[in-house]
Amino acid sequence: MATFPAQFAALEPYADWALPSEADRYAKRLASTMPELREFYDAAMPLLESEADYLRGVALDGISDEDLNLLRCLQALVTVSFPVEAWHQPYVPDSGAASIDVTVEPRP
């Protein structure tokens, strides 16, 4: 049983990024190596580009399990984009001791 809609099959190896909370996704990012982050990013970005129309068609009310997994996975891509595009390391530079934690997030 696939985690994501069919046209996102290339994301199946990264199904473990489809995490339900920002805290989980952020923690996984911090615990990953740069090669791991880049690999996920490289697999997901082309799909984000090619399937933009599909995403626009996914309503949030009554969202299917597959689409919800996809949404979560792409939310993870959002947090992973920072180490890959800006920081070149998993942690925010110069952020050493600080932490800012989500206490409210929308569902889905």
Partner 1 sequence: MSPGDLYPRPEEGTWTEHYPDLGTSPVSFHDSISPEFYRHEQDAIFRQAWLNVGRVDDLPKQGSFFTKDIVAARTSVIVTRDGAGVVHAFHNVCRHRGNKLVWDSTPTQETRGFARQFVCKYHGWRYGLDGACTYVHQEDEFFDVDKSTLGLAEVACEVWAGFIFVCLAKQPRQSLREFLGPMVGALEGYPFDAMTERYSFRAENASNWKVFIDAFQEYYHVPPLHTYQLGPNNRDPNLTFEGAHYQLDGPHRVVSTTGVQKHKWPPETMYPSEVLLRSGNMGPWDAHDLDRDLVGINPGGVERWGIDNFQIFPNLEILIYERNWYLSYRFWPTSHNTHVFEADLWFTPAKTARERLAREYAAITVKEYALQDCGTLDGTQLGLESEAFEDYPLNDQEILVRHFHKSVGDWVDAHRRGLGDESMAPR
Partner 2 sequence: MPHFGKPAAGTWTEHFGLSTEPISYGDSISPEFYALEQEAIFKKTWLNVGRVEQLPKAGSFFTKELDAAKTSLLIVKNRNGDIKAFHNMCRHRGNKLAWQDYPNEEIAGFSRQFTCKYHGWRYDLDGNLTFVQQEKEFFDLDKEKFGLAPITVDVWEGFIFVTFNPDPQPLKDYMGRMGAGLEGYPFELMTQKHTYRSEIGSNWKLFIDAFMEFYHAPVLHAQQATDEESRKLQEYGYEALHYDIDGPHAMVSSWGGMAPPKDLNMVKPIERLLRSGLFGPWDGPDIGELPEGVNPAKSKTWGIDSFLFFPNFMLLIWKPNWYLTYHYWPTSYNTHIFETSLYFAPPKNAMERLQQELAVVTFKEYGLQDANTLEATQTMLQSGAVTEFPLCDQEVMLRHMHTVCRDYVEKHKSESGAVLAGTAAPSSKGA
Q: Which residues bind partner 1 (CB under 8 A)?
A: 91, 93-97
- Residue 101 touches which of partner 1, partner 2, none (CB < 5 to 8 A by kind)? partner 2
Instruction: Kindly state whether residue 70 participates in binding partner 2, applying the rule CB under 8 A.
Output: yes
Residue keyed to tokens 């409210």: 104
At residue 19's C-alpha, the angle toward residues 35 and 76, to 5°, is 45
Q: 91, 30 in Cβ contact below 8 A?
A: yes
Closest CA to 91 of 77, 80, 105: 80
Alpha carbons 100 and 84: distance in angstroms, whole number: 20
Query: Which 9-68 residues touch partner 2, going by CB under 8 A?
Result: 22, 45, 48-49, 52, 55-60, 63, 67
What's the residue count for the chain?
A: 108
For partner 1, the closer CB: 50 or 91: 91
Which positions lie near partner 2, rule CB under 8 A? 22, 45, 48-49, 52, 55-60, 63, 67, 70-71, 74-75, 77-79, 81-82, 85-87, 92-106, 108
